[in-house]
Amino acid sequence: MDNPVLPQGVTADSISLLLGHPDPATLATPQFQAAVQHVMASPQAALAYGDEPGHPALMEYLVDRINREQQLALQRENLMIVAGSTHAVDMIARLYTQPGGAVIVESPSYADSLHVFRDHGVALHSVAMDQGGVMIEAFEKLLKQLAEKDNLPSLYYTIPNFHNPTGISTSLERRLEIIRLSQEYGFTIVEDDVYRDLAFDTAVPPSFYTLANGKNVIQIGSFSKTLAPGLRLGWVIASAESIHRFVFCGTTQMGGGASPLAAQIVAEYCQRGHWDGHLEHLRRGYRLRRDTMLTALGQYMSPEVSWTTPSGGFFVWVTLPGEMQGSVVKAETLKRGVMLAAGEGYFINPDDGKHNIRLTYSFAPLSDIKTAVRILGEVIAG
């Protein structure tokens, strides 16, 4: 029987390079449990409906921290607490797009965000990436085509740092070019920056929000990758007008703010100064896992296989040799107890990802990563 505490789809005798989840051993730290106990000692306020923009102490903490780290001058009215990044993407899609309207994404992109945009009936378009992010010439060509059809995009959705699924970070030059395009063609940049605090090697480039001074940019952050996904807690920063729109939309008005209970626990934890130390611990742990995976890939892959070298986050993106299909490799490795993601689901045109797989190094025990990559190497070698 499956161990009931394992995440959905994972069995005790498999190694998962599939899930983009944090290392389970990092979740219930004594410091976090102390914050839970503190809030639960007098839980009256935490168990009531909360303020619609979010728990004030957490908002204050985040505004200060983001201003310090991104050289911004945000006020409280520029931030809202949300139920994770996915909630934010859904809310933005609901308020900033219309059925049939154009939205541009990276190719590939985060599968669940593609799903959310599809739920809203938008016309998705994508721009291919190389090591520096999306390719600007192709982006501009697409915008010109959409302008001719009188269907310019309202949004460009991007994962600027340690992108899911490729691990790539968009270079500073490309960020500046994309901001130029956003100002020329009038679309809003949605930067889904959930991996921002997981940089292993060098600092991340300035955010779109910083570079554009907040103009036509909405930035999303989350506690899912760097504290605990079960909290269902994240935040959005944007112009006061956009935040006003989010706070006064129907679901927020009836919802009473994103989980006041989770928000009070996180505020307590952060105000005690624990999050920064935890982030340092995570970066060290994930850096070691990344290095272990890259070393194993170098050792076990045939020369025709190539892969990205992420400098943070959770993912390595692998390009298989010749005509080899990711879905076949996925099925074969699964027979040998290794779970991974085939590339198709990350593309608007699934065929574009036929020869790719995504490997996650964040979730499986460190000691299993080498074994899993060895098995993958054997499957690819046939």
Cβ proximity to ligand PLP: between 86 and 126 the closer is 86
| Residue 297: closest CA among 326, 317, 268 | 317
Q: Which of 177, 191, 192, 197 binds ligand PLP (CB under 6 A)?
A: 192
**Closest CB 164 distance from ligand PLP, rounded Å:** 4
Please compute, for residue 369, the number of CA atoms within 13 A of its CA located in the half-sphere on the CB side.
24
Cβ proximity to ligand PLP: between 78 and 224 the closer is 224
Query: Does 108 participate in binding ligand PLP (rule CB under 6 A)?
Result: no
Please compute, for residue 242, the number of CA atoms within 13 A of its CA located in the half-sphere on the CB side.
24
Cβ proximity to ligand PLP: between 146 and 190 the closer is 190
Cβ proximity to ligand PLP: between 188 and 375 the closer is 188
**Closest CB 86 distance from ligand PLP, rounded Å:** 3
| Residue 59: closest CA among 232, 260, 272, 277 | 260
Cβ proximity to ligand PLP: between 38 and 65 the closer is 65
- Region near ligand PLP per CB under 6 A, out of 5-13, 179-187, 211-219, 221-229: 221-229
**Span 152-181, contacts to ligand PLP by CB under 6 A:** 159, 164
**DSSP for residue 199:** B
Residues 6+ apart with CB under 8 A from 188: 96, 154, 155, 156, 182, 216, 217, 218
CA dist list (Å): 46 to 32, 53, 211, 255: 16, 15, 37, 14
Query: Does 224 participate in binding ligand PLP (rule CB under 6 A)?
Result: yes
| DSSP assignments along 121-182, one per residue | T-EEEEEEEETTEE-HHHHHHHHHHHHHTT---SEEEE--SS-TTT-----HHHHHHHHHHH
Cβ proximity to ligand PLP: between 92 and 301 the closer is 92
Q: Which of 107, 216, 222, 242 binds ligand PLP (CB under 6 A)?
A: 222
- Region near ligand PLP per CB under 6 A, out of 222-230, 270-278, 316-324, 350-358: 222-230
Query: Does 197 participate in binding ligand PLP (rule CB under 6 A)?
Result: no
Cβ proximity to ligand PLP: between 86 and 188 the closer is 86
| DSSP assignments along 63-131, one per residue | HHHHHHHHT----GGGEEEESSHHHHHHHHHHHH--TT-EEEEEES--HHHHHHHHHTT-EEEEEEEET
Cβ proximity to ligand PLP: between 126 and 380 the closer is 126
Q: Which of 14, 70, 86, 107 binds ligand PLP (CB under 6 A)?
A: 86
Question: Binders of ligand PLP: how many residues, by CB under 6 A?
Answer: 13
Q: Which of 10, 20, 157, 296 binds ligand PLP (CB under 6 A)?
A: 20
Cβ proximity to ligand PLP: between 159 and 380 the closer is 159
What would the x/- binding string for ligand PLP be over residues 227 to 246, using CB under 6 A?
--x----x------------
- Region near ligand PLP per CB under 6 A, out of 81-89, 145-153, 181-189, 258-266: 81-89
Strand 79-82 to strand 133-134: parallel, antiparallel, or no bridges (unpaired)? unpaired
CA dist list (Å): 152 to 48, 179, 243: 43, 15, 23
| Residue 155: closest CA among 115, 205, 213, 95 | 95
Residue 207 · residue 221 · CB < 8 Å: no
The structure tokens listed for 300 are: 């076990």
Query: Does 110 participate in binding ligand PLP (rule CB under 6 A)?
Result: yes
What SS3 class is residue 14? Answer: coil
Q: Which of 22, 53, 54, 84 binds ligand PLP (CB under 6 A)?
A: 84
- Region near ligand PLP per CB under 6 A, out of 43-51, 78-86, 269-277, 362-370: 78-86
Query: What is the contact surface with ligand PLP in residues (CB under 6 A)?
Result: 20, 84-86, 110, 159, 164, 192, 194, 222, 224, 229, 234
